[in-house]
Structure 1
Amino acid sequence: MDEPKIDYEAVFRDLPSATLLLAPELIILAANEAYLRVSGRRREDLLGRYLFDAFPDNPEHGSPSGVCGLGVSLRRVLATGERDTMAIQRYDVKTSGHSDVFEERYWSTVNTPVLDPDGQVALVVHRVEETTDLVRGCAGELGEEQRHALEAELMARARELHEVNEQLRRAHAREREVALTLQEAMLPALAPTGRVKAAVRYQPAASTMNVCGDWYDLVELSEDRVAVAVGDVVGHGLSATGTMGQLRSALSAVVRVADGPAAALEVLDRYARSVKGAESTTVVQAVVDYSTLTVTYSRAGHPPPALACVGGDVELLDQTVDPPLGASPEHLPRSQATATFADGATLTLYTDGLIERREENVDVGLSRLADSLGRHAGLGPDALADALLAEVGGADREPTDDTAIVVIRL
């Protein structure tokens, strides 16, 4: 059955709530019928105008200013990409046909971002609910002094709600800072010895709420063997960071004594079932053997490592993959595969934040990764890691997910 065709323009026009569509520069792009009725404006009076030119502040109305509060809300939405809800605000509106006469109005506003495929704010949906009649109805039986007292009380409650929202935002910001500090402590810069040349990069998500539990690890097993792992814990914030630390430490210890990557992930899978928040974690463990010029790897639901040859050919190590940690009802054996390489090749492990974008098939991201690795095959680990972040991760967009990368010159 064919999907029904929806006339979104008609839907927007007939929405019961008064709604504007704003460009990131706060230029009015569209106004529905309900908004025209509530504001007493014609569509041609609004389209193409800066919002606060179309609805300026009332110079005779003292603090708090509706324009000021709305401006703060809109700037927050543009900066964070997150919805913002305002409490009841007094926002006086110029009387239609009069350039200097304002009518006392009360609004409740919700500002919602519309993101483009790269996670940038492309539009802001500015929805208002008219509460003037409610406020006036509550004050209708009161005298002038009591009416002003009620207005002051309503505004005080609105300011209190606004302050609560601000406190919550500050708390989220503090949690993000603590999570990032904890991650930094758990994921120090790699300083391997011997023949291993490697670079790591960790890029946190831009959003306050999206700091996740990505991790990496590099362990020299012997003079000729090195183990490298990258993992991604489901969830956000401090809990995900704590879970990440437990799993990273466990795998780092196990891989030193396990008989290969698959055996190491089997032990980690059993351990993850006893760790809260560890279910569905993805991880890839690889062991590089310089004496045999081989990479042996095992994947638990994780994107495939990439092996780039000196000439630019790129092989995705996807010959084996098993479910994420703790995802199967019963414990199952893990599989592993082996690939060969020549001197000078490059092995890259990463988390999905590098290759995944909204509304894009993951194969597109993998193709972008392979193309970048092929073109930069001659770069050293540090320069290559920077190029991958810029080209594959997208330097022109705010990251919506954490990204961890480990690059090893073989």
Structure 2
Amino acid sequence: MGAIVEVALMPWARRMKDKVNLPIRLYWRDGGTPLDLGHFERPAVTIRVKDASGLPLLIDPNLDTLGRAYVEGLIDVEGALADVVAAAHGLADHAQPENGLIGRIKRSFVHTREVDAEAIQYHYDVSNAFYRSWLDENMVYSCAYFENGDETLEQAQLAKIDHILRKIRLQPGQRLLDIGCGWGALVLRAASSFGARCVGITLSKNQHELATERVRQAGLQDRIEIRLQDYRDVRDEPFDRVTSVGMFEHVGLDNLVPYFQQIRRLLRPEGWAMNHGITSTDAHDGETKHGGGSFIERYVFPRGELPHIGTVLRTMQEGGLEAFDIENLRRHYARTCSAWSERFEASAHALRSMVDERTWRIWRVYLAGCAWAFEHDEIALYQVLCRPSGRVAAELPWSRRWLYDGR
């Protein structure tokens, strides 16, 4: 069987060698004749095909097929993780059709309360210990903010929370709603350092349990309420401020206008909101040029959909909100994901004892792949400060200097 497979692969390997010239060596299982996909003295990446069913995923690869082959254990990959990710993109870049149609693939999913709850719990309820192993000490699972570029992850995550709370001009005694509160880091900071009264909502049972316990440990039960609740079901408005950090990626393209309408309904007329989320860099809200969307949907974020920033601003306006400040933090998320990936690799032994091999592989390739995607402008991260449209923002300073003075 091995000899037959090698013979079948040789013509393809020769074509790929001349076409891509990447430092990749391919083996059928643990032996046989190596097939090189480039001209080199020593391979940076070695791929071992463990099962014949993995071959079709390699013949005309993109990030979806390569990721699937790795996660399902059809191939093993050796080499530095950065080299592996670069090699995968190199293969995908040369294998895509010249007309670039993959950049126009759009996904649209049904989003009900039940379906969205299942998707959130699939992603976030792996285990709190799993996330704690590679996140910062406050377990902030969103883009950090590196003010100078040399901060630790812990410092940058705290700076991100403060950056958001300063942008929304949070004042003592104001009522804040945090949509998708995670493990509670933002509401804990808002209550303890800014004197706010907070409601945090999540659909993750694990996050709800731990965030509630963290509030209790901090002695802030009188200022913070953590709810297991869908944003569409919040009815105890008005709120002075609303934050949504790393959540609207789960809303769905067709639901963005109702999502922003709900934020508008929950806000006081003079209130402020911050939407912080990942966006596509395809102007048509489509797939990235290397693929990857099917992999993310299948293994990581079921029914996740990324709009372009243009779509965000249009639907925000249609939802009754006016954007006042827009900041692109793509570089910051590239560094954040790199830090997560490095911590994940450093904790590999412990993490593999917490989850099955398939789950470990999913997260390993996901974090490293996201770092690459943000670094190379395949996806982005925008903070958009907004408020109910049609009102004079008399209390907002004329320049952005107020965000940085005195820091």
Which structure has more relative contact order (CA 8 Å, sep 6+)? It is 2
Question: Shared fold by TM > 0.5?
Answer: no
Structure whose residues are more often helix by fraction: 2
TM-score by length of 1: 0.21
Rg larger for? 1
